Structure 1
Amino acid sequence: MRRQNLAVILSTVAGSGPLSRAAVAKRVGLTRTAVSSLVDELLGARLLVEGDVRTNGKVGRPGRELALNDRGPAGLGLEVGPAHLGVCVVDLRGATRVWHRVPARNRSRPAEQVLAELVELAADGVREAEAAGLEIQGSVLAVPGVLGPAHDTVEHAPNLGWRDVVPARHWPGQLRAPELENEANLGALAERWCGAQTADTLVHISAETGIGAALVIGGRLFRGAGGYAGELGHVPVHHDGPRCSCGARGCLEQYAGARAVLRAAGIRGTHRDPVATLAERARDGHAPTLAALAQAGEAFGTALTSAVNLFDPAAVVLGGAYAELSPWLLPAMADELAARVRVRPWDPDVLRPSSLGRSAPLLGAAHLTVRRILTDPARLGE
């Protein structure tokens, strides 16, 4: 009961603060004595701070305002992408206090080398956070791949070239090894926690080099029986299409992945940021690029039809780097969905771009630890 009450008080201050102890007691339905004892515990854990006396012009004994501590526990988010590394620290108030997202050609390098560079970046981020009075209470690593059941192994990340990689084996003792999570899942959570999406049931697409998706049903991630739900990039859109890296034919990534769209647009050469290249060409009215993006949008619509028919989501969110291509992808996606969805009249407002774009997985990784603290503050003492 005490554990639950600690969570109720902390979440009340988080959602409605700053509040006096008396105001908290009134909102949660506990006695002032009980609230005072629980608040003292939260103050001792550096989860709350008590502000200066306020009077608000009222007669009587003034109260002191309680607020979340912005110099206390914090969450560390990490990310490995095919072309970047990322580190983010978020405080209890949800403010981003550290942010580093740097280019890195990770696709063709050994996992040990990539992780060694990430560790260095993470150590810099932790030092920066500690200098600001923050204490890292957990870390989560976002990866674009399939994870093992225990969430400690990257079983397969084709766009990194990783198979059966255990990051903890390459993590130094002075830094706590991170928990692993799929980047599309974290992107979906970030959209609900930090972005503009309030829908309890949604499909979130995370697309750049590869294409993944996350399903949120009733406000919770749907992982599937073995944790493998969301492999949208390998949904077949043409059964006799080109061979995919997964071994099948006609997968969505062969029509809508960034490299496939570049090829269809006739854009050759190596591009550090293929999505930015496509957006630039599209803005310039480059006809082959516009046609390639329309074809990719049609493929997305075909692949998403089953998900929409099966789950009836309130929102379908185009995220990741592809949020930057939404002006050219969404019209074709919407047309295809309107033509194929039959379980209900298609509402075009269901389909929308992400408000967070590329930053979503890294933000989601950092916020995951903070959310866990806010919903179960007693975990800090365990």
Structure 2
Amino acid sequence: MRRQNLAVVLGAVRVHSPLSRADVAGHVGLTRAAVSSLVDELIGRGALTEAPATASGRVGRPGRALAVSEQGPAGLGLEIGVTHLGACVVDLRGEPRVRRRVERANAGRPAGRVLAEVAALAAEAEAEAAALGLRVEGRVLAVPGVVPNGPGGLVERAPNLGWHGVRLADHWPDPDTVPEPENEANLGALAECWSAEPAVETLVHVSAGAGIGAALVIDGRLFRGARGFAGELGHVPIQPDGVECACGARGCLEQYAGEAAVLREAALAPHGGAAGASPAPAGDPIVLLAERAAAGHPPTLAALDRAGRALGLALASAVELIDPDGLVLGGAYAELADWLLPSVRAELAARVTVRPWAPEALRPSALGRRGPLLGAALTTVRRIMTDPTLLPAG
């Protein structure tokens, strides 16, 4: 009960601060004495701060303003992308305080080498956070791959990296700082839920990078499936006898709406190797696609329309099966939403016919490609907000 009450008080201050102790008691329905004891404990654990007394304009003694601490506990998010590494430290208010990104071509590189570089980046981010008075309480790593349920820190497979059966502890230099791996699409979805106003309880979050990932949030909780493999939307077949996929199946969504497929259809070669395609200029291919679409480049517009129709076909099945409150286009899809949304919505309107469906229920993520890294950092913060006793007592 005390753990729950600590979380209630901490949550009230986070949402409504600045508050006095008396104000908190009014918000949470506990006695002032009980609230005062809980506040003292939260201050001792570094979760709250209390400013000097200030006049509130009300009769009685001036209150002392409580706020969630800008220093002390924090979460570290890490990310391995196909083309980059990232780190982010977020304080208990949910504010990013440290950000680092390094461009790296990670596909096909040895997992040990990649993880050693991520560990070095993590150490740099933690040192910078410490200089700001922040103390990392948990570490989560976003990976573009399948992470099975249960402990062990195993990445079952990450095909776009070329990883199979990689256990983080086998490669991480410091056994005390091994992060918890999680699928990047899952973390992007959680960041979206935690950042949305008002909160969305049930949604499908689909994102694209080198591959296509999806995550299901049902009643505010991430649905991982029986073994942690839920959300492989990129390998849902939309044309059973279609193009062969790298996974060994045919007609997978990735072959029609993935980054490489869109670049190919836009007459741009991701690596300069597609027949009849002009080499893509150096730089971010998603930014390039957005620039060409904005300029009215016909092959690019046609490629994005085709991708949107394929995506809408796959999402229609998800809508009928799950009945979500919303669909969110995250990752690279968010940056291409202006050109994807019309065809996705057209497919949904044509195929979702047995239940109510509003076009505005499909929207782009405000976080875009920042979602997975932010979600990784916020995972620790959310755990602390739910159970402040995870923090060491002062």
User: Do they superpose with TM above 0.5?
Assistant: yes
* 1:158 paired residue number: 159
Secondary structure class of the residue paired with 1:349: helix
Cα pair 1:196 1:355 within 8 Å, conserved:
no
Cα distance in structure 2, aligned partners of 1:101 and 1:175 = 23
Deviation at 1:42, TM superposition (A): 0.9
1:1-382 to 2 correspondence within 5 Å? 1-150=1-150, 152-173=153-174, 176-195=177-196, 198-268=199-269, 270=271, 272-381=283-392
**Residue 268 of structure 1: how far off its partner (Å):** 2.2
Indicate the larger mover: 363-372 or 217-226: 217-226
Long gaps (5+) in structure 1: none
Separation in 1, partners of 2:166, 2:251: 28
- Tell me the distance in 1 between the aligned counterparts of 2:198 and 2:118: 30
Give secondary structure in 1 for the equivalent of 2:230.
coil
TM-score (norm 2): 0.94
TM-aligned CA deviation for residue 322 of structure 1: 1.6
C-alpha displacement of 1:345: 4.0
SS at match of 1:146: coil
- Name the SS for the 1:304 alignment partner: helix
Moved more, 142-151 or 80-89: 142-151
Deviation of 1:194 after TM superposition, in Å, equals 2.1
**Contact kept? 1:25, 1:31, Cα under 8 Å:** yes
Number of matched residues? 382
Cα distance, 1:34 vs. partner?
2.1
| Distance verdict in 2 for CA 1:269–1:93, change over 3 Å | closer
Q: Is the 8 A contact 1:108 1:161 kept in 2?
A: yes
Whether the aligned pair in 2 keeps the contact of 1:123 and 1:175 (CA below 8 Å) is no
SS in 1 for 2:199: coil
- The DSSP-based 3-state class of the residue aligned with 1:381 is coil
Contact 2:82 2:210 in 1 (8 A): yes
Deviations 1:227-246 (A, max 9, x none): 11100000001011111111
Greater shift in the superposed pair: 270-279 or 203-212: 270-279
Identity of aligned residues (%): 63
Report the CA distance between 1:85 and its aligned residue. Answer: 0.7
Q: TM-score, normalised by structure 1?
A: 0.96
CA distance in 2, matches of 1:246, 1:197: 38
Partner of 2:277: none
> Cα RMSD (Å) of the superposition?
1.5
Instruction: Flag the 1:29–1:291 CA change in 2: closer, same or farther, 3 A.
Output: same
Q: How many Å separate the matches in 2 of 1:144 and 1:87?
A: 15
Q: Following TM superposition, by how much is the alpha carbon of 1:26 offset from its aligned partner in structure 2, in angstroms? A: 2.5
Query: Which stretches of structure 1, 4 residues or more, deviate above 4 A after TM superposition?
Result: none
Q: CA deviation at 1:58?
A: 3.4
The more displaced of 311-320 and 49-58 is: 49-58
Which of 19-28 and 136-145 deviates more? 19-28
1:59 offset after TM fit, Å?
A: 3.8
Relative to structure 1, is the Cα distance of residues 272 and 163 closer, same or farther in structure 2, using a 3 angstrom cutoff?
A: farther
**1:295 is aligned with what amino acid?**
R
Amino acid at match of 1:186: L
Residues 116, 173 of structure 2: 8 Å contact kept: no
CA distance in 2, matches of 1:263, 1:365: 32
* TM superposition shift of 1:346: 3.3
Give the residue type in structure 2 aligned to 1:11: G
Question: d(CA) in 2 for partners of 1:197 and 1:29?
Answer: 23
CA contact (8 A) 1:187 1:364 kept: yes
Specify the SS of the correspondent of 2:107. Answer: coil
Distance 1:216 1:197 in 2: 15
CA offsets, 1:136-157, max 9 Å, x none? 0001001111112225111011
